[in-house]
Structure 1
Amino acid sequence: MGSRSDLTDAEWERLGPLLPVSNGRCGRWRDHRQVVNGVLYRIRTGVQWRDLPERYGPWKTVNERHRRWSADGTWEMLLRRVQAEGDAAGEIDWDGSVDSTSVRAHHHAAGARQAPPPVLKGGSAQTVRAARIRAELIDRLAEGAGGEALGRSRGGFTTKIHLSADGRCRVLSLVVTPGQCADCTQFEPVLDKIRVPRLTCGSPRIRPDSVIADKGHSNRRTRSYLRRRGIRHVIPERADQAANRVRRGSAGGRPPGFDKDRYEKRNTVERAINKLKAFRAVATRFDKRGYLYLGTVTAAAPIIWFRS
Protein backbone atom coordinates (compact mmCIF):
# COMPACT_ATOMS: atom_id res chain seq x y z
CA MET A 1 0.00 0.00 0.00
CA GLY A 2 1.42 3.36 -1.02
CA SER A 3 1.64 6.61 0.91
CA ARG A 4 0.25 10.05 0.14
CA SER A 5 3.82 11.24 -0.40
CA ASP A 6 4.61 8.61 -3.05
CA LEU A 7 5.06 9.77 -6.62
CA THR A 8 2.24 9.00 -9.01
CA ASP A 9 2.95 7.27 -12.33
CA ALA A 10 2.59 10.58 -14.17
CA GLU A 11 4.99 12.32 -11.79
CA TRP A 12 7.51 9.50 -12.06
CA GLU A 13 7.43 9.68 -15.86
CA ARG A 14 8.57 13.29 -15.58
CA LEU A 15 11.05 12.86 -12.74
CA GLY A 16 12.57 9.43 -13.44
CA PRO A 17 14.48 10.30 -16.63
CA LEU A 18 16.16 13.24 -14.87
CA LEU A 19 17.82 11.17 -12.16
CA PRO A 20 21.48 10.09 -12.52
CA VAL A 21 22.03 6.61 -13.94
CA SER A 22 25.54 5.85 -12.70
CA ASN A 23 26.40 5.82 -9.01
CA GLY A 24 29.91 7.13 -9.79
CA ARG A 25 31.65 3.99 -8.55
CA CYS A 26 31.22 0.79 -10.53
CA GLY A 27 27.66 0.15 -11.54
CA ARG A 28 24.25 1.72 -11.89
CA TRP A 29 21.72 3.06 -9.43
CA ARG A 30 18.87 0.68 -8.70
CA ASP A 31 15.32 1.15 -7.40
CA HIS A 32 15.29 4.91 -7.87
CA ARG A 33 11.52 5.21 -7.47
CA GLN A 34 11.45 3.22 -4.24
CA VAL A 35 14.29 5.28 -2.74
CA VAL A 36 12.86 8.64 -3.83
CA ASN A 37 9.49 7.68 -2.35
CA GLY A 38 11.30 6.83 0.88
CA VAL A 39 13.00 10.23 0.97
CA LEU A 40 9.68 11.99 0.32
CA TYR A 41 7.94 9.94 3.02
CA ARG A 42 10.57 11.00 5.54
CA ILE A 43 10.35 14.66 4.47
CA ARG A 44 6.55 14.66 4.70
CA THR A 45 6.28 12.89 8.06
CA GLY A 46 9.55 13.84 9.76
CA VAL A 47 10.16 10.30 11.04
CA GLN A 48 13.62 9.12 11.96
CA TRP A 49 15.43 7.35 9.15
CA ARG A 50 15.45 4.08 11.09
CA ASP A 51 11.64 4.19 11.28
CA LEU A 52 11.06 4.21 7.51
CA PRO A 53 8.50 1.56 6.46
CA GLU A 54 10.03 -1.60 5.00
CA ARG A 55 8.36 -1.01 1.62
CA TYR A 56 11.00 1.66 0.90
CA GLY A 57 13.89 -0.76 1.35
CA PRO A 58 16.85 -0.47 3.74
CA TRP A 59 16.79 2.87 5.55
CA LYS A 60 20.57 3.21 5.15
CA THR A 61 20.21 3.10 1.37
CA VAL A 62 17.54 5.81 1.40
CA ASN A 63 19.53 7.96 3.83
CA GLU A 64 22.79 7.58 1.93
CA ARG A 65 21.27 8.51 -1.40
CA HIS A 66 19.63 11.57 0.11
CA ARG A 67 22.98 12.60 1.58
CA ARG A 68 24.78 12.12 -1.73
CA TRP A 69 22.19 13.99 -3.76
CA SER A 70 22.13 16.83 -1.23
CA ALA A 71 25.92 17.16 -1.45
CA ASP A 72 26.37 16.88 -5.23
CA GLY A 73 23.47 19.17 -6.19
CA THR A 74 21.15 16.52 -7.66
CA TRP A 75 18.08 17.83 -5.83
CA GLU A 76 18.81 21.35 -7.03
CA MET A 77 19.27 20.06 -10.59
CA LEU A 78 15.87 18.34 -10.43
CA LEU A 79 14.21 21.54 -9.21
CA ARG A 80 15.72 23.54 -12.05
CA ARG A 81 14.68 20.99 -14.67
CA VAL A 82 11.11 21.02 -13.38
CA GLN A 83 11.18 24.83 -13.48
CA ALA A 84 12.53 24.68 -17.05
CA GLU A 85 9.60 22.50 -18.12
CA GLY A 86 7.18 24.96 -16.55
CA ASP A 87 8.88 27.90 -18.25
CA ALA A 88 8.81 26.16 -21.64
CA ALA A 89 5.08 25.58 -21.21
CA GLY A 90 4.53 29.23 -20.22
CA GLU A 91 3.30 28.26 -16.75
CA ILE A 92 5.60 30.50 -14.69
CA ASP A 93 4.29 33.83 -13.46
CA TRP A 94 7.45 35.95 -13.34
CA ASP A 95 5.97 38.53 -10.97
CA GLY A 96 7.95 37.14 -8.05
CA SER A 97 8.10 37.74 -4.31
CA VAL A 98 10.88 37.38 -1.74
CA ASP A 99 10.55 36.57 1.95
CA SER A 100 11.96 34.37 4.69
CA THR A 101 10.73 32.09 7.43
CA SER A 102 12.29 30.83 10.65
CA VAL A 103 12.36 27.11 11.38
CA ARG A 104 12.79 25.73 14.88
CA ALA A 105 15.65 23.25 15.11
CA HIS A 106 14.98 20.01 16.96
CA HIS A 107 17.55 19.14 19.60
CA HIS A 108 18.64 16.23 17.38
CA ALA A 109 19.92 18.83 14.90
CA ALA A 110 22.61 19.97 17.35
CA GLY A 111 25.98 18.40 17.95
CA ALA A 112 27.32 17.99 14.42
CA ARG A 113 31.07 17.55 14.28
CA GLN A 114 33.02 20.49 12.91
CA ALA A 115 33.64 19.04 9.46
CA PRO A 116 32.61 19.77 5.86
CA PRO A 117 30.14 17.54 3.97
CA PRO A 118 31.47 14.04 3.19
CA VAL A 119 33.82 13.51 0.26
CA LEU A 120 32.07 11.59 -2.49
CA LYS A 121 34.04 8.86 -4.23
CA GLY A 122 33.53 8.46 -7.93
CA GLY A 123 34.79 9.27 -11.39
CA SER A 124 36.96 12.27 -12.06
CA ALA A 125 34.21 14.45 -13.53
CA GLN A 126 31.82 13.72 -10.70
CA THR A 127 34.54 14.29 -8.10
CA VAL A 128 35.37 17.74 -9.48
CA ARG A 129 31.69 18.71 -9.67
CA ALA A 130 30.98 17.46 -6.14
CA ALA A 131 34.03 19.27 -4.74
CA ARG A 132 32.91 22.54 -6.35
CA ILE A 133 29.39 22.19 -4.95
CA ARG A 134 30.71 21.31 -1.48
CA ALA A 135 32.90 24.41 -1.50
CA GLU A 136 29.92 26.58 -2.44
CA LEU A 137 27.82 25.02 0.32
CA ILE A 138 30.53 25.55 2.92
CA ASP A 139 30.90 29.21 1.91
CA ARG A 140 27.13 29.72 1.93
CA LEU A 141 26.69 28.14 5.35
CA ALA A 142 29.82 29.64 6.87
CA GLU A 143 28.00 31.75 9.46
CA GLY A 144 27.11 30.54 12.93
CA ALA A 145 27.10 27.13 14.63
CA GLY A 146 30.18 25.78 12.91
CA GLY A 147 28.87 26.53 9.44
CA GLU A 148 25.70 24.42 9.80
CA ALA A 149 23.15 27.25 9.39
CA LEU A 150 22.07 27.09 13.03
CA GLY A 151 21.77 30.17 15.18
CA ARG A 152 19.96 31.89 18.02
CA SER A 153 16.96 34.14 17.47
CA ARG A 154 13.84 35.10 19.39
CA GLY A 155 12.42 31.71 18.46
CA GLY A 156 15.32 29.90 20.11
CA PHE A 157 17.67 27.57 18.22
CA THR A 158 16.61 28.21 14.63
CA THR A 159 17.44 28.12 10.94
CA LYS A 160 16.07 30.63 8.45
CA ILE A 161 14.91 29.82 4.92
CA HIS A 162 15.12 32.72 2.46
CA LEU A 163 13.25 32.12 -0.78
CA SER A 164 11.78 33.64 -3.88
CA ALA A 165 8.50 32.42 -5.35
CA ASP A 166 6.70 32.97 -8.62
CA GLY A 167 3.16 34.34 -8.87
CA ARG A 168 1.74 30.83 -8.50
CA CYS A 169 3.26 30.17 -5.07
CA ARG A 170 6.10 27.93 -6.25
CA VAL A 171 9.73 28.14 -5.19
CA LEU A 172 12.20 29.72 -7.60
CA SER A 173 15.30 29.81 -5.36
CA LEU A 174 16.35 28.95 -1.81
CA VAL A 175 19.04 30.04 0.63
CA VAL A 176 19.49 28.65 4.16
CA THR A 177 21.14 30.69 6.94
CA PRO A 178 21.33 30.80 10.76
CA GLY A 179 18.14 32.00 12.40
CA GLN A 180 19.50 35.41 13.44
CA CYS A 181 20.47 36.39 9.89
CA ALA A 182 18.71 39.57 8.70
CA ASP A 183 16.45 39.31 5.67
CA CYS A 184 18.04 42.22 3.80
CA THR A 185 21.49 40.56 3.79
CA GLN A 186 20.19 37.61 1.76
CA PHE A 187 18.05 39.47 -0.76
CA GLU A 188 20.75 39.54 -3.43
CA PRO A 189 21.87 35.90 -2.93
CA VAL A 190 18.26 34.73 -3.25
CA LEU A 191 17.71 36.59 -6.54
CA ASP A 192 21.15 35.59 -7.84
CA LYS A 193 20.19 31.93 -7.39
CA ILE A 194 17.23 32.19 -9.78
CA ARG A 195 18.41 30.23 -12.80
CA VAL A 196 15.79 28.53 -14.97
CA PRO A 197 17.42 26.69 -17.91
CA ARG A 198 16.04 26.62 -21.42
CA LEU A 199 14.99 23.19 -22.67
CA THR A 200 16.15 23.91 -26.21
CA CYS A 201 18.85 26.55 -26.50
CA GLY A 202 19.66 29.94 -25.08
CA SER A 203 20.81 31.39 -21.78
CA PRO A 204 18.97 30.51 -18.57
CA ARG A 205 16.30 32.88 -17.28
CA ILE A 206 17.87 34.63 -14.29
CA ARG A 207 15.70 37.71 -13.83
CA PRO A 208 12.02 38.00 -12.85
CA ASP A 209 9.84 40.70 -14.36
CA SER A 210 9.17 42.26 -10.96
CA VAL A 211 9.81 41.61 -7.28
CA ILE A 212 7.68 42.26 -4.21
CA ALA A 213 9.20 42.28 -0.72
CA ASP A 214 8.32 43.54 2.75
CA LYS A 215 9.87 46.35 4.79
CA GLY A 216 12.63 44.08 6.06
CA HIS A 217 14.22 44.33 2.61
CA SER A 218 13.91 48.12 2.35
CA ASN A 219 17.30 49.78 2.05
CA ARG A 220 19.30 51.77 -0.47
CA ARG A 221 21.52 48.86 -1.47
CA THR A 222 18.57 46.62 -2.33
CA ARG A 223 16.87 49.27 -4.43
CA SER A 224 20.11 50.07 -6.25
CA TYR A 225 20.65 46.39 -6.97
CA LEU A 226 17.17 46.05 -8.46
CA ARG A 227 17.53 49.19 -10.58
CA ARG A 228 20.92 48.00 -11.83
CA ARG A 229 19.37 44.73 -13.01
CA GLY A 230 16.32 46.47 -14.47
CA ILE A 231 13.83 44.68 -12.19
CA ARG A 232 10.65 46.53 -11.26
CA HIS A 233 9.93 46.29 -7.55
CA VAL A 234 7.41 47.12 -4.84
CA ILE A 235 9.03 47.47 -1.41
CA PRO A 236 7.41 49.72 1.22
CA GLU A 237 9.60 52.28 2.93
CA ARG A 238 10.22 51.87 6.65
CA ALA A 239 9.00 54.62 8.98
CA ASP A 240 12.51 55.50 10.18
CA GLN A 241 13.75 55.78 6.59
CA ALA A 242 10.85 58.04 5.64
CA ALA A 243 11.46 60.24 8.70
CA ASN A 244 15.17 60.50 7.89
CA ARG A 245 14.42 61.44 4.30
CA VAL A 246 12.00 64.17 5.39
CA ARG A 247 14.48 65.48 7.95
CA ARG A 248 17.13 65.92 5.26
CA GLY A 249 14.80 67.98 3.12
CA SER A 250 15.70 68.28 -0.56
CA ALA A 251 18.91 66.32 0.06
CA GLY A 252 16.83 63.33 1.11
CA GLY A 253 15.51 62.78 -2.39
CA ARG A 254 12.10 61.67 -3.54
CA PRO A 255 10.16 58.88 -1.83
CA PRO A 256 10.35 55.49 -3.59
CA GLY A 257 7.39 54.51 -5.71
CA PHE A 258 4.87 52.19 -4.12
CA ASP A 259 1.93 50.40 -5.77
CA LYS A 260 -0.49 49.29 -3.07
CA ASP A 261 -2.51 47.06 -5.40
CA ARG A 262 0.55 45.16 -6.60
CA TYR A 263 1.85 44.82 -3.05
CA GLU A 264 -1.22 42.75 -2.18
CA LYS A 265 0.29 39.96 -4.28
CA ARG A 266 3.06 39.50 -1.70
CA ASN A 267 0.93 36.79 -0.11
CA THR A 268 2.11 34.47 -2.90
CA VAL A 269 5.48 33.93 -1.21
CA GLU A 270 3.76 33.42 2.15
CA ARG A 271 1.56 30.75 0.60
CA ALA A 272 4.68 29.16 -0.92
CA ILE A 273 6.18 29.03 2.58
CA ASN A 274 3.01 27.38 3.89
CA LYS A 275 3.27 24.72 1.18
CA LEU A 276 6.90 24.04 2.11
CA LYS A 277 6.06 23.79 5.81
CA ALA A 278 3.38 21.21 5.08
CA PHE A 279 6.42 18.89 4.95
CA ARG A 280 7.23 18.22 8.60
CA ALA A 281 10.96 17.72 8.07
CA VAL A 282 10.98 21.23 6.60
CA ALA A 283 8.79 22.84 9.27
CA THR A 284 11.09 21.43 11.97
CA ARG A 285 14.75 20.90 11.27
CA PHE A 286 16.02 17.46 12.21
CA ASP A 287 19.15 17.40 10.02
CA LYS A 288 22.45 18.10 11.72
CA ARG A 289 24.23 19.29 8.60
CA GLY A 290 23.30 22.52 6.88
CA TYR A 291 23.74 21.06 3.39
CA LEU A 292 21.44 18.16 4.33
CA TYR A 293 18.68 20.47 5.50
CA LEU A 294 19.05 22.53 2.33
CA GLY A 295 18.73 19.27 0.37
CA THR A 296 15.60 18.38 2.34
CA VAL A 297 13.94 21.72 1.52
CA THR A 298 15.05 21.55 -2.10
CA ALA A 299 13.71 18.00 -2.51
CA ALA A 300 10.27 19.14 -1.34
CA ALA A 301 10.12 22.02 -3.83
CA PRO A 302 9.70 19.95 -7.06
CA ILE A 303 6.77 18.09 -5.50
CA ILE A 304 5.04 21.42 -4.96
CA TRP A 305 5.65 22.22 -8.62
CA PHE A 306 4.15 18.89 -9.66
CA ARG A 307 1.06 19.27 -7.51
CA SER A 308 0.28 22.98 -7.88
Structure 2
Amino acid sequence: MASIDLTIVPVHQHGADPSAHHRGLSGTTRKFGVEPRDHAIGRSRGGLTTKNHLVCDGKGRAVAFILTHGQTADTSMLADAFEQIRVPGKAGRPRTRPDRVMADKGHPSKANRVWLRERGIAATIPE
Protein backbone atom coordinates (compact mmCIF):
# COMPACT_ATOMS: atom_id res chain seq x y z
CA MET A 1 0.00 0.00 0.00
CA ALA A 2 1.15 3.54 -0.70
CA SER A 3 -0.24 6.97 0.07
CA ILE A 4 0.46 10.35 -1.50
CA ASP A 5 0.05 13.83 -0.12
CA LEU A 6 1.65 17.21 -0.49
CA THR A 7 2.49 20.24 1.51
CA ILE A 8 2.81 23.83 0.40
CA VAL A 9 5.94 25.62 1.57
CA PRO A 10 6.18 29.41 1.42
CA VAL A 11 9.44 30.74 0.03
CA HIS A 12 11.51 32.65 2.56
CA GLN A 13 11.64 36.40 1.91
CA HIS A 14 15.31 36.06 0.90
CA GLY A 15 14.76 32.83 -1.07
CA ALA A 16 13.98 34.55 -4.37
CA ASP A 17 16.11 37.60 -5.02
CA PRO A 18 13.74 40.19 -6.54
CA SER A 19 16.66 42.26 -7.81
CA ALA A 20 17.78 39.26 -9.91
CA HIS A 21 14.33 39.29 -11.52
CA HIS A 22 14.83 42.87 -12.65
CA ARG A 23 18.45 42.41 -13.75
CA GLY A 24 17.65 39.17 -15.63
CA LEU A 25 20.39 37.22 -13.88
CA SER A 26 18.75 33.85 -13.43
CA GLY A 27 17.02 31.28 -15.61
CA THR A 28 14.34 31.63 -18.22
CA THR A 29 11.70 34.34 -18.28
CA ARG A 30 8.26 33.27 -17.11
CA LYS A 31 5.04 35.10 -16.38
CA PHE A 32 6.03 35.87 -12.80
CA GLY A 33 9.66 36.84 -13.35
CA VAL A 34 12.93 35.11 -13.89
CA GLU A 35 13.85 32.05 -11.84
CA PRO A 36 15.63 28.77 -12.71
CA ARG A 37 13.22 25.86 -13.11
CA ASP A 38 15.11 23.67 -10.65
CA HIS A 39 14.31 26.11 -7.84
CA ALA A 40 10.62 25.16 -8.14
CA ILE A 41 9.50 28.59 -6.96
CA GLY A 42 6.09 29.52 -8.24
CA ARG A 43 3.28 31.87 -7.46
CA SER A 44 0.02 30.81 -5.84
CA ARG A 45 -2.63 32.57 -3.77
CA GLY A 46 -0.21 32.54 -0.83
CA GLY A 47 2.56 34.32 -2.73
CA LEU A 48 5.81 32.61 -3.72
CA THR A 49 5.58 28.91 -2.80
CA THR A 50 6.81 25.42 -3.63
CA LYS A 51 4.95 22.12 -3.26
CA ASN A 52 6.44 18.92 -1.84
CA HIS A 53 4.73 15.75 -3.14
CA LEU A 54 5.59 12.69 -1.03
CA VAL A 55 4.68 9.04 -1.53
CA CYS A 56 4.93 6.78 1.54
CA ASP A 57 4.57 3.03 1.90
CA GLY A 58 2.19 1.34 4.34
CA LYS A 59 4.65 1.81 7.20
CA GLY A 60 5.06 5.56 6.61
CA ARG A 61 8.48 5.33 4.93
CA ALA A 62 9.11 7.74 2.06
CA VAL A 63 9.51 5.97 -1.30
CA ALA A 64 9.19 8.90 -3.73
CA PHE A 65 9.44 12.70 -3.59
CA ILE A 66 8.85 15.47 -6.13
CA LEU A 67 9.32 19.22 -5.68
CA THR A 68 7.14 21.44 -7.91
CA HIS A 69 6.19 25.07 -8.40
CA GLY A 70 3.49 26.52 -6.15
CA GLN A 71 0.98 26.91 -8.97
CA THR A 72 1.23 23.23 -10.06
CA ALA A 73 -2.10 21.40 -9.70
CA ASP A 74 -2.07 18.70 -7.02
CA THR A 75 -3.83 16.16 -9.21
CA SER A 76 -1.36 16.45 -12.10
CA MET A 77 1.59 15.00 -10.15
CA LEU A 78 0.21 11.63 -9.03
CA ALA A 79 1.53 9.65 -12.02
CA ASP A 80 4.91 11.40 -11.96
CA ALA A 81 5.33 10.69 -8.25
CA PHE A 82 4.46 7.01 -8.61
CA GLU A 83 6.84 6.64 -11.56
CA GLN A 84 9.67 7.47 -9.11
CA ILE A 85 9.01 4.43 -6.87
CA ARG A 86 11.84 1.86 -6.77
CA VAL A 87 11.71 -0.45 -3.72
CA PRO A 88 14.46 -3.09 -3.85
CA GLY A 89 13.68 -6.57 -2.61
CA LYS A 90 15.93 -9.42 -1.53
CA ALA A 91 16.09 -10.72 -5.10
CA GLY A 92 14.95 -9.65 -8.56
CA ARG A 93 13.92 -6.29 -9.91
CA PRO A 94 12.89 -3.44 -7.60
CA ARG A 95 9.17 -3.15 -6.95
CA THR A 96 7.68 -0.18 -8.79
CA ARG A 97 3.94 -0.43 -8.07
CA PRO A 98 1.91 -0.71 -4.92
CA ASP A 99 -1.19 -2.92 -4.65
CA ARG A 100 -3.33 -0.02 -3.39
CA VAL A 101 -3.08 3.78 -3.36
CA MET A 102 -4.62 6.09 -0.80
CA ALA A 103 -4.90 9.80 -1.60
CA ASP A 104 -6.87 12.83 -0.43
CA LYS A 105 -9.35 15.02 -2.31
CA GLY A 106 -6.50 16.73 -4.17
CA HIS A 107 -5.99 13.73 -6.48
CA PRO A 108 -9.44 12.52 -7.68
CA SER A 109 -9.15 13.27 -11.42
CA LYS A 110 -10.45 10.84 -14.01
CA ALA A 111 -6.99 10.72 -15.59
CA ASN A 112 -5.46 9.55 -12.29
CA ARG A 113 -8.09 6.85 -11.83
CA VAL A 114 -7.55 5.62 -15.41
CA TRP A 115 -3.76 5.64 -14.96
CA LEU A 116 -4.05 3.56 -11.77
CA ARG A 117 -6.62 1.17 -13.28
CA GLU A 118 -4.41 0.54 -16.34
CA ARG A 119 -1.63 -0.59 -13.99
CA GLY A 120 -3.89 -2.78 -11.85
CA ILE A 121 -3.56 -0.55 -8.79
CA ALA A 122 -6.61 -0.29 -6.52
CA ALA A 123 -7.40 3.26 -5.40
CA THR A 124 -9.00 4.78 -2.32
CA ILE A 125 -9.52 8.42 -3.31
CA PRO A 126 -12.59 10.40 -2.18
CA GLU A 127 -14.57 12.32 -4.81
Q: TM-score under structure 2 normalisation?
A: 0.81
The corresponding residue for 1:114 is 26
Separation in structure 2 between the aligned mates of residue 98 and residue 191 of structure 1, nearest angstrom: 9
C-alpha distance in 2 between matches for 1:235 and 1:145: 34
AA matched with 2:26: Q
Which of these residues, 95, 103, 109, is aligned with residue 213 of structure 1?
Answer: 103
Shift of residue 100, structure 1, vs aligned partner = 0.8
Q: Report the counterpart of residue 232 of structure 1 in structure 2.
A: 122
Q: Is the aligned partner of 1:170 residue 2:61?
A: yes
Runs of 4+ in 1 over 4 A off after TM superposition: none
Secondary structure of 1:216 counterpart: coil
2: CA distance between counterparts of 1:213 and 1:198?
Answer: 25
Residue 105 of structure 1 is matched in structure 2 by 11
| Structure number with higher helix proportion | 1
Structure 1 position 220, deviation (Å) = 1.2
The alpha carbon displacement at 1:214 in A equals: 1.4
Structure 2 residue identity aligned to 1:168: K
Alignment of 1:118-197 (within 5 A): 145-147=35-37, 148-197=39-88
Output the aligned Cα RMSD: 1.8
Match of 1:247 in 2: none
Measured against aligned partners, the alpha-carbon deviations of 1:55-99 in whole angstroms (never above 9, x if no partner) come to xxxxxxxxxxxxxxxxxxxxxxxxxxxxxxxxxxxxxxxx21111
CA distance in 1, matches of 2:123, 2:35: 34
Aligned residues: 114
| Aligned residue type for 2:7 | T
The CA deviation at 1:145 is 3.4
* Structure 2 residues not aligned, in runs of 5+: 28-33
Q: Higher strand proportion, which one?
A: 2
What letter is aligned with 2:81? V
CA radius of gyration, larger in: 1
- Amino acid paired to 1:146: P
The correspondence of residues 35-46 of structure 1 with structure 2, limited to 5 A, is: none
Q: TM-score, normalised by structure 1?
A: 0.35
Unaligned runs of 5+ in 1: 1-94, 116-143, 238-308
